[in-house]
Amino acid sequence: MSKVLIVDDVPDLLVIATCALKADGHEVLTVGNGKEALELTAAQRPDVILLDVMMPEMDGIEVCRRLKADPRLRSIPVILVTAKTADDDVVRGLDAGADDYITKPFRREILAARVRSALRVKQGHDAVCRINEQLQVEIAERKRMECELARAQRLESVGHLAAGIAHEINTPNQFLGDNLRFIEQGFSEITKLIAALYRLLEAAKKADFAESLVAEIDAVHRQADADYLAEQIPKAAHQSLDGVRRIAHIVSAMKAFSPANGDHKVFTDLNQAIHSTLVVCEDQWKPVAEVVTDLDPDLPLVPCVPGELNEVILNLVLNAVHAIADAGGSRLDKGRITIQTRRTTEGIEIRIQDSGSGIPEGIRHRVFDPFFTTREPGKGIGQGLAIAHAIVVQKHRGTISFQTETGRGTTFTVRLPGR
């Protein structure tokens, strides 16, 4: 049952209007002044307000103005009740936000019809509000899912990178361990030889060259294979140092992906960012492609969020890797990824080109759509390019586009504003 509030300081009119509206099936509330009308409206939230203009202390137009100024109450339809000759009141009331008006004296049928009309408007408004609330909930849920899936995409990428990085670090770590064990064993043999030589030295000081001592030194020398150790230990040490440098290089590249600066932009060397990204994902591209870099040595520092821009480069490189792999790239017939940086009049430009099979014409318009992927289930959730697009366009005020040709490959171009 709809609820109608009648506001009038004339008792007879309250009775007439109440009878007419109750007969039409409405619940009716009545008050005799504007102040009470505001208080009751806030407490009861009627569906329609029938508001007399001429009232003492606070007239109906002021009541209407206050109702429409309150976000909680402004959607309630207000029907002004005016005298037939009060055209100015009608104009002022409609300007104050009133939804309709009716003149005194009125016919019951017309009053009931005006209220029904106002109720339809209110019901329509309420329905729109409910739909809007549902949409807001759905939008919030979609954003939450997008965030979760973007996080899943990042975790998937991190998982692949972690496996590759573990492999890259494990290789030098393995020969580091082998070399250190070799040096440990070799040093043990050399220690024996040194001890024997010390004994010979002591004997020499006493002019006591016992043949047995010379024989012992000769045996220790042969057992230790001193010539071999003298040749191989420096090589093992040099190789170990190379391994340490390799691990340090990988760790340094990994640091470029850490959110050390949060979401704050800093001036960044994009060429170094590209080098770091290629180091981090080397295990991904090396089996299927050769990477050629053509980086502008005079490229200026660019204001960006380093970790996020590294993520863009990583996603584009991995996208190129997948395109080449899907086109049949292998160790025997590798594809090619070319990465270029250039300075432009508006900022800088990064181009990442692959020799894959190109993007089919029918899906080119969906490349940057979230969750869109042409890969088999379990091999990607279609967030890489969507994330790259969001980072470049929304967070860095740049652009990302692509050119593709069936059978010849695709080039993605990222343009970022300069200083």
Measured CA to CA, the distance from residue 171 to residue 244 in angstroms comes to: 11
Question: In the numeric block, which tokens belong to residue 296?
Answer: 């502008």
Q: Over the stretch 147-157, which tens digit does the pLDDT of each residue have? A: 666 665 655 55
Regions of the chain where pLDDT drops below 50:
377-378, 380-382
Among 49, 73, 106, give the residue marking a domain's end.
106
Residue 308 lies in a domain: yes
**pLDDT of amino acid 411:** 95
Letter string b/e over residues 178-203, b meaning 16 or more CB atoms within 10 A of that residue's CB: ebeebbeebeebbebbeebeeebeee
Same domain as 167, residue 72 = no
Is there a domain that residue 254 lies in?
no
Are 65 and 14 found together in one domain?
A: yes
Strand ranges across the sheet with 48-52: 27-31, 3-7, 48-52, 78-83, 100-104
Instruction: Determine the length of the chain.
Output: 419
Its domain, for residue 209, covers: 152-247
Name 28's bridge partners. 4
pLDDT of residue 47: 92
**Cα separation, 391 vs 385, whole angstroms:** 10
CB 7 within 8 A of CB 79: no
If asked whether residues 270 and 356 sit together in one domain, one would say yes
Q: What's the pTM value of the predicted model, to 2 decimals?
A: 0.50
Look up the CATH number of the domain holding residue 41. Answer: 3.40.50.2300
Question: Quick one: pLDDT at residue 157?
Answer: 59
Same-domain check for residues 293 and 399: yes
Q: How far apart are CA 419 and CA 2, in angstroms?
A: 62
| pLDDT at residue 259, rounded to an integer | 56
Q: Are residues 407 and 280 in the same domain?
A: yes
Cα(101)–Cα(80) distance, rounded to whole angstroms?
4
**Residue 19: inside a domain:** yes
| 270 and 413 belong to one structural domain | yes
pLDDT computed for residue 233 by the predictor: 72
With respect to residue 146, please indicate whether it lies within any of the assigned structural domains. no
Residue 394 lies in a domain: yes
Q: Are both 300 and 222 inside the same structural domain?
A: no
One domain for residues 342 and 285? yes
CB environment 392-407: b (16+ within 10 A), e (fewer): beeebebebebebeee
pLDDT at 78: 93
Is residue 69 assigned to a domain?
A: yes
Q: Are residues 22 and 94 in the same domain?
A: yes
Domain assignment present for 261: no
* pLDDT tens digit sequence for 196-208: 666 665 665 566 6
Phi, psi of 350, deg, nearest 5: -120, 130
Q: Which CATH number is 405's domain given?
A: 3.30.565.10
| Other C-beta atoms lying within 10 Å of the C-beta of residue 297 | 6
233 and 277 in a single domain? The answer is no
Q: What is the pLDDT of residue 381?
A: 41
- Domain final position from 189, 216, 247: 247
Domain identity same for 396 and 337: yes
**What pLDDT is stored for residue 378 in this prediction?**
46
Q: How many domains does the chain have?
A: 3
Q: Report the pLDDT value the prediction gives residue 258, as an integer from 0 to 100.
A: 59
Q: Is residue 123 part of a domain?
A: no
